[in-house]
Amino acid sequence: MTDHTLCQAELAGTGSYLPEKILTNFDLEKMLDTSDEWIRTRTGIQERRIASEKESSSVLAAHAARKALESANITADELDIIIVCTSTPDVLFPSTACFVQKEIGATRSAAFDISAVCSGFVYGLSIAEQYIKSGRYRHVLVIGSEVNSRIVDWTDRTTCILFGDGAGAVILKQKDSSEECGLLSSHIYSDGNLSSLIEVPKAIGRIPENGNSDKFFIKMSGNATFKVAVKRMTEVCQEALKYNGLSRDDVDLIVPHQANQRIIDAVVKRLEVSPEKVFLNIHKYGNTSAASIPIAIDEAKRTGRIKPGCRMLIMVVGAGLTWGAAVIKW
């Protein structure tokens, strides 16, 4: 193993929160010209969670944050930074992270949001990693939180079937030992030339450019997104493994962004990894955007899929176009 994999940041705690309301494919059959079979065979999704009217991104995030603090056995006033990764903020400003800070009582921390859509959590991990490696901060809370149900067109059967609401959180802590574990590396990329593949075209800071710009709804080019998503995630996973001197056989668990079962299957096939190593919960929650990976990590940890010494590869692609991967050793 090469020296650059000796990471100083460990994942000290995890947490997640899902709204109580469940919207099944059979419920959608009553709303749209679709069917449970059509949705399952094309996406792998059977149901998704929908936030109540009183549940904004900050509310979901605060629930997940409290569970992560409990898991890490630290208090909120020990946090140095709160990073909320979201594309569905409570308001344009202040940041959703400031609302979370207030709610959990983290009075000594800095707080800010980042927006990289589905890739947001991996981007957040990468930022937190740099803060901790610099020695400037000891505890960083990274949260992915989304209320996607607020920005989907419930008359558009091609998009509304995909998304759900939820939040996941992790606490990164500066390690006390030199043991080779924790966040070994993170790798993030973007390509603005592909920004039109997935977008919410409503204009805020610019003059509207098309007829859809009066709506805060997700618009997608499904087939084109599928092809580029598979290519980019495969490439960045190969880069992450090579960077850490690992082969696919060295990976114990893969936690992909839970966007579409077909995309996940295609990437796993290209990587030539056993499907048994892949953690999936897309059937229960759908695509929760930036919350997808931290929810999956927390669930994998609670259900015993993550054990001490486990080498985990996480991978994501999202609007922007953005994509990334990270390697974690527990």
Give catalytic residues, as residue numbers.
Answer: 118, 257, 287
Q: Which amino acid does the sequence have at 193?
A: N
Q: Which amino acid would we find at residue 293? A: I
Give the tokens for residue 125. Answer: 């991990």
Burial degree of 120 (CB within 10 A; 0-12, 13-18, 19+)? buried
Q: For residue 185, what are the β-bridge partners?
A: 327
- Of 71, 96, 59, 63, the C-alpha closest to 13 is 71
DSSP H stretches of helix in 21-178: 25-29, 36-43, 57-72, 96-104, 120-133
**φ and ψ of 44, to 5 deg:** 85, 0
How far is the C-alpha of 107 from the C-alpha of 234, rounded, in Å?
41
Phi-psi region of 183 (alpha: psi -120 to 50; beta: other; left: phi over 0): beta
Name 240's Cβ contacts closer than 8 Å, sequence gap at least 6.
185, 187, 313, 325, 326, 327
> Exposed, middle or buried, 329 (CB in 10 Å: 0-12/13-18/19+)?
buried
> How buried is residue 223: exposed, middle or buried, by Cβ count under 10 Å (0-12/13-18/19+)?
exposed
With residue 315 as reference, give the H or E element that holds it: strand 311-318
For residues 238 and 267, give the distance between their C-alpha atoms in angstroms, rounded to a whole number.
11
